[in-house]
Structures are given as structure tokens and as C-alpha cells.
Structure 1
Amino acid sequence: MNWLLMVLVASAALYGTLAGALVPGARYRLSVEPNEPWRTTAPCGHALGGGIGGGRCAACGRARYGPGAVWPAGAAAVMCAVTAAAVGPRPELAVWLLVIPVGLVLAGVDWAVHRLPDVLTLPLAGSTAVLLGLATLLPASGGTWTGSLLGAVTLGGAYLLLFLAHPAGMGFGDVKLAAGLGCALGWYGWGVLILGGLAGLLLGSVYGLALLLTRRAGRGTTMPLGPFLLAGAWLALLAGGWSARP
């Protein structure tokens, strides 16, 4: 690993730590049931302000919400560092680093209340498309914007068909998330797009099977699919970033 890549990885890890520390507050604010307003106060009653923070009330310093900031900050740091190592100094890396904390919030919210809020899924798809379009204007980009747009339509359309065929097994929020993930995966081509789409479903299936085998869930039990779609997409992006390196 040359010195430029080492600096890039270290910088990405630092960014991930700072961004990940903000995940618990956003997750807590958005983890509400459908048709309920976003939370504006901590459990102690103090205002959340901007809705971000490290999982502890900033006003009194005592009331906690969620698991705290250590795990999200650590996870974001590792994910950002590994992504930087795989992608290298290419313009799309900035897009992936911006997406990772959003993905962690989405995974946390879906895990907590089994929903993927439009306030994140729709901007994720739109901003990813716009930012990757800008990345194509810079030298040394490792993918194509056309592939991204086709990926969004293809993966979003595929998950829409799955949703229509079996609504009980997939929420419409998963369809909207798939459009954003498809936009990112399509950047590196059809192979990465297919790998990411199948990996997410496979991870979710393995988890569901494990729940059945351990009798922690029955056949009619619902489970969050978003975290597995996000994990599968991230793994595929790593593969795509590495294969696109010179």
C-alpha cells in the first residue's frame, strides 16, 4: 500500500468515525411506526435539536436512546476505510463515503421498526445519480453514469416485481431502496449489479432460515430486509471497486 492510499484510508476512517457518531440520533428520530411524526424529543423530554447526536441527550447528558455511538462510529470507520482501500483515489469514492452513514441509519431504522423512510430512500437514489453524474466529469472515474441509471431502473424494477408477486415478503420501501442501490451498483457494470442484488437476498434468506432453525421465528414472521440489501450492495461495491483499479 503506497503512502497516498494509506493517507486516503486513514482519512476515510476518521471521516467514518465522525459521521458514524451521528447515526444514533438520526436513527432514534426516524424509528417510528408508519403515520407517526418523527421524534423531536429525547426520552427525558428534552428537545433533540437537529435530530443528530451520539445516543445521549445533549441537554442533560443522562438520558440515552439506542445503543450509543461506539458501535455505529466503529462500523462506519471500518466500512469507510475498507471502501477507500478497495476503490482507491477515484472520484466515486466520495459518493460511497457519503452513502455509507445514510445506509447505516436506514439499516438501523429498518431493524428497529421494519420500515425504510422515504425521507432517506428517495434522496439516496436521487443524490447518488446526480453525484455519480458529476463523477463522470472528473478524470480516473471507474464506472459509467449510463450503467448507474440502467442499474437503478433494473434493480428497482426487479424488486418491484418481487414485491407485486409476494407483498408479504417485501415492503415497498425495499423497492425504493433497491433503486438507489441499483444506481450505485450499476456504476461498475452488470456483473456487480447482479452480484449485489443476489447477495442481499441471499444474506436475508440465510438470516431468515437461521431464525426458523432456532425457532426464534415462524413462517409468518416478518423481518427487516433492508440491512441485508445494504450489506450485499456494499460487498458488491467492494468487489467492483477493486476490479476497476488499474
Structure 2
Amino acid sequence: MHVYPIVLAAVWGIAGGLLAPRAAYRLAVPADTPWAAACPSGHPVRGWLGPARCRTPHCPSGSYGLGYGAAIGCGAVCGWLALATGAHPELVVWLLLVPVGLVLARVDLMVFRLPDVLTLPALGGAVALLGVASLLPSHQGSWLRALCAAAAVGAVYLVLFFVNPAGMGFGDVKLAPTLGLVLGWYGWPTVFTGTFAGFALGALTGLVLIALRRANRKTPIPFGPFMLLGALAGVLF
């Protein structure tokens, strides 16, 4: 694979990481609460894309969201996806989902929430775009299998939610089909790997926090970031 697609993907990721902080800040509010419309000091926040930095002169809040590290990380993930996936049409879908995943992870870490305004369009958009990708001759996956995997992974999370609603939010259930769709594009072993990796990462993090006495068995831990990291690991490896 030529280096140019990798560089372009990395540049896209950095741009997405730079545009994501404001949306992540505005969406990071408790359920049934209007989206944030002011900085922590009370000055108005306008628009959804761009840095989370107050434009009011001498505002003590300054920068109050994701920093440049998130943009660099987003660029690295996109570049790595391009390297691992190759110049195939499904790569476009993965690159579009990465900034969305960044915002979802940030919001879940802040307020234990995965907003429908992101999870549901992400699913619909991914289904449609992968359907288009499946019609192109250079694709390397199966749209029908991806749909089946989305239904299967979503069903697994739904069962887990009903079995233990205190241990899993319904936002996780809504995110699961999108991740199942992505993993299923490449095959059932990838579905298993990516799903298992999410649970393993979450469990390991919980054990580490307990060992460090920063949490106990009843301490809630946002699971969305681990789901996203697991799916990423499944695609990459």
C-alpha cells in the first residue's frame, strides 16, 4: 500500500480530533438535560465543531475539553486503520466512525452516557455506507454477514442488560449493533475477538482500579470506551 492513503487518513483523523472537543463538551450532560450551551464559567458556547475553548476574553475556564493529545491519537488511529485495512472502500466508513467514537468515549467517561443523537445515526450511516461499499469491486467484506453480526451482538448486549441492568446501560446496547456491524464485515472470528476484547479490557481496568483502591465492586465504570477499543482491536488485529 502506498504511503499517501495512510498520510491522508492520519490528517483526516487529526482534523476530526480538532473538531470534536466542542461536540464532546456540549453532549456531556446528564440524561433529560439540554445540551450544554455555556462554558463552565457561564459564557455562551456556539456551534458544535471546533475546540472547547471559551472565546470570552479573560475567561477563567480557558480550554475545558479534549486537547491536542486527543487529535494526535485520533490521527494515529486513522493512519493505523488505513495501514491495516488497505485502500478499500470500507476504510472510508471506518474513518468516518473514528471521530464519532472519540466523542462517544469522552461523553461516556464524563457522564456515563452514550447519546442517541450519535449512536443511532452512526448505525444507520454505517449500514448504508457499507451497503454501498459492498457494491464496489474492491471491497473485502460481507454486508450480509455484517448485518447478521450487528443483530447478534446487539441481542447479546440486550440480554446482558436485562440480566444485570445495573451493570450495563441501555446506551451500550444501542452502540453494540454498530460495533457488531463493523466487526462482522470481516468475519465471525473478528466479531468474537473484538467483542471479547471489550469485555476483557473493561474487566482488567476494573481489577486494576480495585487493586489501587480507587474503586470497589459496586463502583460504576463507563463501558462504552472499552467496547470501542475492543472493536478497534478486532479490526486492527
Which range, TM-score by smaller chain?
A: over 0.9
Whole-Å separation in 1 of the counterparts to 2:220 and 2:22: 25
Aligned pairs for 1:1-246 within 5 A: 2=1, 4=2, 6-60=3-57, 62=59, 63-239=61-237
Contact 1:24 1:54 in 2 (8 A): yes
Contact 2:53 2:65 in 1 (8 A): no
Contact 1:42 1:65 in 2 (8 A): no
What is the one-letter code of the residue matched to 1:226?
Answer: G
The 1:93/1:45 distance shift into structure 2, 3 A limit, reads same
Gaps of 5+ in 2: none
Whole-Å separation in 2 of the counterparts to 1:61 and 1:20: 25
Whole-Å separation in 2 of the counterparts to 1:149 and 1:24: 31
Q: Deviations over 1:181-213 (max 9, x none)?
A: 111111111110111111000000000111111
The 1:68/1:229 distance shift into structure 2, 3 A limit, reads closer
What is the one-letter code of the residue matched to 2:4?
Answer: V
Whole-Å separation in 1 of the counterparts to 2:154 and 2:187: 16
Q: Deviations over 1:81-124 (max 9, x none)?
A: 00000001000000000000000000000000111111111111
What fraction of aligned residue pairs are identical, expressed as a percent? 46
Q: How far off is 1:53 after superposition?
A: 1.6
Q: Deviations over 1:46-86 (max 9, x none)?
A: 43222222121245485435344301111110000000000
Contact 1:28 1:65 in 2 (8 A): no
Whole-Å separation in 2 of the counterparts to 1:217 and 1:234: 26
The 1:54/1:191 distance shift into structure 2, 3 A limit, reads same
Whole-Å separation in 2 of the counterparts to 1:208 and 1:172: 20
Whole-Å separation in 2 of the counterparts to 1:58 and 1:108: 22
SS in structure 2 at match of 1:49: coil
Whole-Å separation in 2 of the counterparts to 1:207 and 1:37: 31
Aligned residues: 236
Gaps of 5+ in 1: 240-246
Question: Scaled by the length of structure 1, what TM-score is found?
Answer: 0.92
Whole-Å separation in 2 of the counterparts to 1:14 and 1:174: 29
Whole-Å separation in 1 of the counterparts to 2:182 and 2:71: 23
